[in-house]
Amino acid sequence: MGEGRVMKKKNRKSLKWKLISIMLLYWVLPFLVIIGTIGVYMFTSQEQNQMERLVSQVEMNNNMCVERLRMLIADSRQATYDKILYDNYRTYKYAQEGELAERVFYSAAQNYLDAQYSQKKNNSIAVLMLRSNPKERNYSSYNFSTGGSYSQIQTFFNNDIEEVLSVSEELDTSVGFVLCEDRLYLVRNMMDKNFRPWGILVNRVNVEYCFESLINFENDYNVSVALNGTPVIRSGGEGEWENMPELAFERKGNYQFHKDRVYTFQRVKNNDFNLELVLNAKKTDLFTPLYGYMYLVLVMVLFLIPMLLLFFWLSRKYLSRPVERMMDSAGQIESGNLGYQMEGDTGSLEFEYLREAMNHMSERLKYQFDHIYEEELALRDAKIMALQSHINPHFMNNTLEIINWEARLSGNEKVSKMISSLSTLMDAAIDRKKLPEVPLSEEMIYVNAYLYITSERLGKRLTIEKELPPEIMNLKVPRLIMQPIIENAIEHGVVPLGGGCVRICGRREGDNLCLDVFNDGDFTEEDEKRVARLLAPDYDTSKESSGNMGIANVNQRLRILYGESCGLTIRRCGELKTVSTLTILAHS
């Protein structure tokens, strides 16, 4: 006992000096940090760095706006490249504009406008007017999803048509923008093969979409956007713009200080339009974080010395006894008395906090021992989520390439379906409801979306067959568990052969749900070795390339969720046939 007391006394003395050393460090370290911080701010230009970041953001947002305007112009010019309107117009003219010919041309023009512009986010209405009689012979379409309506078409003909016609007279083959109050129109003449205008195509620009990236700046800055010299967006009062200096727009992107304000600006010029962006803010608003930091440094300097003296006073008066009591409590816990509570007042706020923390720790230890099973489940769920977070961008990239190809060479209907399928897959990957398991019927929705996109890519080279009994469709499966297996079957089986069949089957065997994916393609000895390595229980997916990670990820997810009896197997099934089997614990 005496020797134990000596050890306690030595430890208490050692702890005291360690705490005093820490207190000294709490004085020295903040002081050094303050001096170092002041030095950094004195010898580096934080203001310039912040402005360069802002200029970079302006350039990026402006480029996004420019790209959307270019797409709007490209959509307008597509009407000429397609030649659909012009061919029908020639037929209409050669028929001497008879009533039947006029109805045929009306139907063709109306159908083309609906197909080309009623789903475009960059415009709300589209109007085609014949140059010979624009007010009487015209055809229109509107995009309901972007706010387009018959009322907007009426507003155009009642209020804006004269100004649009006036601008079109001067356009020749170029495009023009017309701003009528807050309504922005894109105007372009439709030319025949001799470059004579026969019609006028007008699109009302969806300003909220095309200028979305610039409108977003309005939360923090006064924003001015001019298109071909005409102000399109301007926020803030006139007093905040009246003293604006002459800005050097010839530079790619820059900023300029003038009096108490900062101006960030950029101009984009091309053959179709000139776009000028100016951001305007007060210096004090823009650099408030820097000023606040300097005030914080001053407050820290003022309170540093009193805090140091207070620490020394507390260590002398309230160190020895509270530490001894806490050591006794630690001994109780060490001896196995979990849940032991240290009673009484320690005499100081700091040690009172430590006492409560120790009591809480004692209770927590007891709680953790009583609930170790729940903790293991939480750890297992965390590992599942970590495995699910792996994303293979290869399929997404291929999909976007297909959509781009279809958009250029096909009609919009097929592209719309592919985008819808891709949206279904992306919603499943994002998993907003955070549900790791879904009914097999919902999983097949994602599978069908993926198969639709892949079928558009491979065409008749790919055949899909499904044999899924209705009684298994309500059983739960992990979200997106089948897509990697089907993708593997197509990419490693069907594609190398130049075509083939993928068959999806399901059955219930006892307590398990078995899902089979058959595909054409030989399962070689080299494939067997590679699959055995990927499906090994101790396989580390972090060391594998994304192209080989899918089946390993699926196997590990199933083993973690349902135990070692479940998982993924891949084997040869007859000559030039391969089957991948998912074994899942059957539950609903």
Q: Which residue has the tokens 């568990």?
A: 481
Structure confidence at residue 298 (pLDDT): 66
Residue 180 confidence (pLDDT): 92
pLDDT tens profile 104-159: 888 888 899 888 988 889 999 999 999 888 888 888 898 888 888 999 999 999 99
User: Could you tell me the end-to-end alpha-carbon distance of the chain, in angstroms, rounded to an integer?
Assistant: 63
Full set of structural domains in the chain with CATH: 46-60+211-286 (3.30.450), 83-210 (3.30.450), 382-585 (3.30.565.10)
What DSSP string describes 391-435? --HHHHHHHHHHHHHHHHHS-HHHHHHHHHHHHHHHHHHH-TT--
Q: Does the pLDDT of residue 185 top 60, yes or no?
A: yes
Q: Mean of the pLDDT values across residues 304-328?
A: 69
How high is the pLDDT of residue 127? 93
**Could you tell me the two tokens for 545?**
């390339």
For residue 245, the SS3 value is: coil
Q: Which amino acid is at 217?
A: F
pLDDT of residue 71: 93
Interatomic CA distance for residues 281 and 363, integer angstroms: 55
Instruction: Confirm whether pTM is higher than 0.85.
Output: no
Q: How far apart are CA 549 and CA 542, in angstroms?
A: 8
- pLDDT winner (highest mean) among 215-224, 313-322, 362-371, 449-458: 449-458
462 forms bridges with which residues in the sheet?
A: 500
User: What pLDDT shows up at residue 466?
Assistant: 92
Over the stretch 485-538, which tens digit does the pLDDT of each residue have?
Answer: 998 889 888 888 888 999 999 999 999 999 999 998 888 888 888 888 888 877
Integer Cα distance of 221 and 48 in angstroms: 18
Considering only CA atoms, which of 181, 166, 250, 210 is closest in space to residue 76?
210
Sequential DSSP letters for 284-330 = HHHTHHHHHHHHHHHHHHHHHHHHHHHHHHHHHHSSHHHHHHHHHHH
Q: What is the mean pLDDT of residues 305-313?
A: 69
Are the beta carbons of 530 and 552 closer than 8 angstroms?
no
Crossing angle of helices 393-409 and 546-562, rounded to 10°: 120
Contact 215, 233 (CB under 8 A): yes
Q: What is the CA radius of gyration of the chain?
A: 36
Kindly report, residue by residue over 252-285, the tens digit of the pLDDT: 557 777 787 888 888 888 888 888 888 888 877 6
17, 90, 75: which is closest to 407 by C-alpha?
Answer: 75
Q: Over 80: is that where the pLDDT of 353 sits?
A: no
Q: What is the pLDDT of residues 358-391, one digit of tens each?
A: 787 777 777 666 555 544 554 455 455 444 544 4
Q: Determine the pLDDT at residue 35.
A: 62
User: What is the structure's pLDDT at 235?
Assistant: 83
- Note the pLDDT of residue 24: 66
Coil, strand or helix: which one is 395?
Answer: helix
- Amino acid at residue number 326: M
Higher-confidence residue: 241 or 198? 198
User: Is pLDDT at 30 greater than 80 in this prediction?
Assistant: no
Biggest alpha carbon distance in the chain? 122
Structure tokens at 427: 């919603």
Q: Evaluate whether 253 touches 59 at the Cβ level (below 8 Å).
A: yes
Q: Give the integer Cα–Cα distance in Å for 342 and 325.
A: 8
Average pLDDT, the chain: 78
Q: What is the pLDDT of residue 6?
A: 41
Tokens representing 512 are 């398990």
Determine phi and psi for 236, rounding to 5 degrees: 90, 160
